[in-house]
Amino acid sequence: MATTRTFSIIKPDATRRNLTGAVTKMLEEAGLRVVASKRIMMTEEQAKGFYEVHKDRPFYGELVTFMTSGPVVVQVLEGEDAVKRNRDAMGATNPADAAEGTIRKAYAENIEANSVHGSDSEENAATEIAFFFNKDEIVG
């Protein structure tokens, strides 16, 4: 299996509870390496653009409000089959459905404030990485 990259966000509910390190530790323990990382306040424009695929969903407005409610940590993760590895480490979107040992089972507050984002395909990973990082900010 090839070494690939994926995009991760530690969401405002997690930064608010000082869980940046705890979440990153779980990602590292899952075999992922942080090759880029920055803590930012997402603008409304960035959040709307990033979640554009969900613009017709009823929770879109609330999601944009949540994602701009506090700092987030955007990261590029590298590892074997990184997209799937990260999604497995994250667990199901709704923490009520998340498996034991996953980040969302351990830390998510609810289906919206669910602590982490992870790309769902290689193609989206490339798009999402480019949305937040220049090439020279990624050091593998």
Residue 115: count other Cβ atoms within 10 Å of its Cβ.
24
Residue 115 Cα distances to 56, 80, 81, 91, angstroms: 22, 23, 22, 11
Helix and strand counts by DSSP (H, E) for the chain: 7, 4
Residue of 117, 118, 119, 133 marked catalytic = 117
Looking at the Cβ atoms of 48 and 117, the one nearer to ligand ADP is: 117
Contact of residue 122 among ligand ADP, Mg ion, none (CB under 5-8 Å per partner type): none
Interface region with ligand ADP, contact rule CB under 6 A, candidates 26-34, 41-49, 73-81, 109-117: 109-117
Query: Which residue in the set 112, 122, 126, 138 belongs to the binding site for ligand ADP (CB under 6 A)?
Result: 112
Amino acid identity at 118: G
* 122, containing H or E segment: helix 122-132
Residues engaged in binding Mg ion (CB under 5 A): 120
Residues engaged in binding ligand ADP (CB under 6 A): 54, 59, 63, 93, 111-112, 114, 117, 120
